[in-house]
Amino acid sequence: MSGKNIASMNLSSPNLVNVCIDTLENGEIRGRMYHYYGEQPVRFESILQLLKQMEALFDGIAFPQASTRSRSFRKQSAAEVPYNIEKRPERRTDEEQLTGQRGRLATLLIQVGYRQNSTWEGEALWLEQNEKKEFRNELELLQLLELALQKCKIQVNEVKK
């Protein structure tokens, strides 16, 4: 990989996620998520499902630590309670495998640095454009994803003409 923005990302960070967006249908994205703790991609069918899977990953590796716990109308089962840091899973893939995957529409490396006040803060790098942006909450992350997809759609339409 090249580019100054990729060099500024902490690629060894345990919470680095590679989001590969393959399709956009009726306003919903579909694709794959890669992380260091799984050999197979985690597939998602919507942005909500992607966010839930990322949250479960962060809870599972206990990093970044959440400063609050989500509320629910039902009790969590023992299987749903976040992992303990002593039980953090071992890495199953390396940096090259994680960052080498690409989505058909867009690929974003996302690193969440903080989970405070029931939201995320971090940075996202759109690999195809080598554009890196910081986000202060999940809404800003969603806006970055939407912007990347809008740019992809414009480029696809220009190629078709």
Among the listed residues 2, 7, 8, 20, the one whose alpha carbon sits nearest the alpha carbon of residue 109:
20
Q: Which residues pair with 18 in a beta bridge?
A: 34, 109
Specify the amino acid at residue 117. Answer: N
Pairing of strands 28-34, 106-116: unpaired
Yes or no: say if 17 and 97 are a contact pair by the CB < 8 Å rule.
no
- The answer, yes or no, to whether the previous bond of 41 is cis (omega within 30 of 0) is no
Per-residue pLDDT of the chain (161 residues; tens, 9 = 90+): 446 778 788 898 999 999 999 999 888 999 999 999 999 999 999 999 999 999 999 988 988 988 777 666 777 665 555 445 556 788 899 999 999 999 999 999 999 999 998 899 999 999 999 999 999 999 999 999 999 888 887 665 555 55
